[in-house]
């Protein structure tokens, strides 16, 4: 049983790296440093928040491909779609094993941000601002869950996603 869990966790990490559009997390083997001493979210909260953030990044990036006037932002958006489909797929796979199915709908906060972005007259600036905010939240929740989460099935998913999210935050600094 222990081998199966170890193999499953390893398969999730490898699959996440492969699905992340060629991005290879440099520190996937190291435990994530705790961002703060706040308690880890519950399993259900982690899955719901991560799924909604991933879905927001994908949908807002699809919108950016249509509306952005910047080639750099469109390139970034294309990369985000690929990366977050990968992290979303891994989260879904792990969540299903725990009967925690990620929702295909955005939570109200992310839906409000997407609605606002859709009608924005300053699309590029608002897109970058929203991406930065969501990626900061993803780093926070992934860091907390990877360090202190209860589920041995979900912890590797958070740990593997963390360096990807941190890289996305660094890339946002160049936009």
The predicted-structure confidence for 28-64, as pLDDT tens digits, reads as follows: 444 444 445 668 899 999 999 999 999 999 999 999 9
CA atoms of 118 and 123, how far apart (whole Å): 8
List, in sequence order, the alpha helices (H) in 28-154.
43-67, 71-97, 108-118, 123-148
**Where does the pLDDT of residue 7 fall: very low under 50, low under 70, confident under 90, or very high at 90 and above?**
very low
Domains of the chain: 2-21+42-172 (1.20.1260.10)
- In the predicted structure, residue 75 carries a pLDDT above the cut 80: yes
CA atoms of 153 and 131, how far apart (whole Å): 27
CA atoms of 117 and 112, how far apart (whole Å): 9
How high is the pLDDT of residue 27? 39
Is residue 88 within 8 A of residue 147, CB to CB? The reply is no
- In the predicted structure, residue 140 carries a pLDDT above the cut 80: yes
How high is the pLDDT of residue 37? 61
Phi-psi region of 45 (alpha: psi -120 to 50; beta: other; left: phi over 0): alpha
Q: Which residue has the tokens 């295909």?
A: 104
Segment 113-123, tens digit of pLDDT: 999 999 999 99
- Whether this prediction's pTM lies above 0.75 is answered by yes
């Amino acid at each position: 049983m222990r081998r199966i869990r170890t193999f499953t966790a390893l398969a999730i990490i490898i699959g996440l790296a492969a699905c992340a559009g060629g991005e290879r997390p440099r520190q996937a083997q190291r435990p994530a440093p705790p961002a703060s001493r706040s308690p880890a979210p519950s399993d259900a909260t982690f899955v719901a928040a991560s799924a909604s953030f991933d879905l927001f990044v994908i949908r807002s990036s699809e919108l950016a491909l249509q509306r952005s006037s910047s080639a750099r932002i469109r390139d970034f958006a294309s990369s985000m779609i690929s990366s977050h489909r990968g992290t979303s797929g891994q989260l879904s796979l792990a969540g299903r094993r725990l009967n925690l199915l990620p929702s295909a709908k955005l939570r109200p906060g992310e839906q409000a941000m997407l609605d606002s972005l859709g009608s924005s007259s300053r699309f590029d600036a608002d897109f970058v601002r929203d991406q930065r905010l969501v990626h900061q939240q993803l780093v926070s929740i992934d860091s907390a869950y990877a360090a202190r989460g209860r589920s041995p099935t979900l912890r590797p998913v958070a740990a593997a996603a963390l360096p990807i999210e941190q890289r996305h935050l660094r890339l946002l600094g160049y936009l």
